[in-house]
Amino acid sequence: MGTICADNPRLNARLDQAVVQPCRVVVDSAGRLRPDALLFTVEGPVLVVTNGANDQTQHYFDSRTEQIHLPDSSGKIDLEGLLLELGRRGCNDVLVEAGATLVGEFVTRNLVDEYLIYLSPDILGTKSRGMFDASDITKLDEKIELEIIATKQLGVLEEGDHVVVKGGDVGARFLLVAARPLNEPIARYGPFVMNTKIEIEEAINDFSSGFF
């Protein structure tokens, strides 16, 4: 729910062809979802899952929105029960698009079958936002061991490099971004890219203050 509050995403499939929109599941234990969220502006069913402590029927969601209560013994949302419920509804694949808190719950409860991780060659400090909120894992012998199935690298071409694409009988689709160098100074810090270190510091201050 924190992702919806922060980014207000539509959570729909956006393709240049006809597509059946997936069921969008909102895990909202605090009752923060509102009817004016952008996910209600596009087609597709919506399932709102709460722990029952904050009944949201007062918000009068539209007719394609269903609300269910799945509390666990600790008062949180029963994520294991949610996955079982989605399985009963015919959902064989569940993409978890969320922040560190909810993702951390899925990780620490061993509910993740596959990770798709995009990495950039940058290092952030200990006060930055982590990938998972898994504060219970503090020792090496408590680690969650994974197996790397495949890796792919997004390439950056220099002047004189060439791209050859072979699509075969079925064709191919790819994204190629090209631009001329600006020959300006570049300062990087995590996701921030500016011209100077001072601009980076200003951007971080704005981000920390909620103005970015």
pLDDT per residue over 169-183, tens digit each?
A: 767 777 777 777 778
pLDDT tens figures, 63-122: 889 999 999 998 889 999 999 999 999 998 999 988 889 999 999 999 999 988 887 778
Q: CA 137 → CA 78, 96, 121, 126, 177, distances in Å?
A: 20, 21, 25, 16, 40
pLDDT tens figures, 150-169: 877 666 777 777 777 777 77
pLDDT on residue 54: 65
Using only the alpha carbons of the chain, give its radius of gyration: 21
Cβ-based neighbour number of residue 65 at 10 Å: 19
**At a CB cut-off of 8 Å and minimum separation 6, what does 27 contact?**
1, 49, 77, 79, 82, 98, 102
Phi, psi for 44 (deg, rounded to 5): 120, 145
Q: Strand 187-189 and strand 192-194: pairing? A: antiparallel
Cα–Cα distance, 94 to 87 (Å, whole number): 9
pTM given for the model: 0.66
CB 39 within 8 A of CB 13: no
pLDDT tens figures, 17-59: 888 889 999 999 888 898 899 999 998 999 999 988 766 555 6
Phi, psi for 4 (deg, rounded to 5): -65, -40
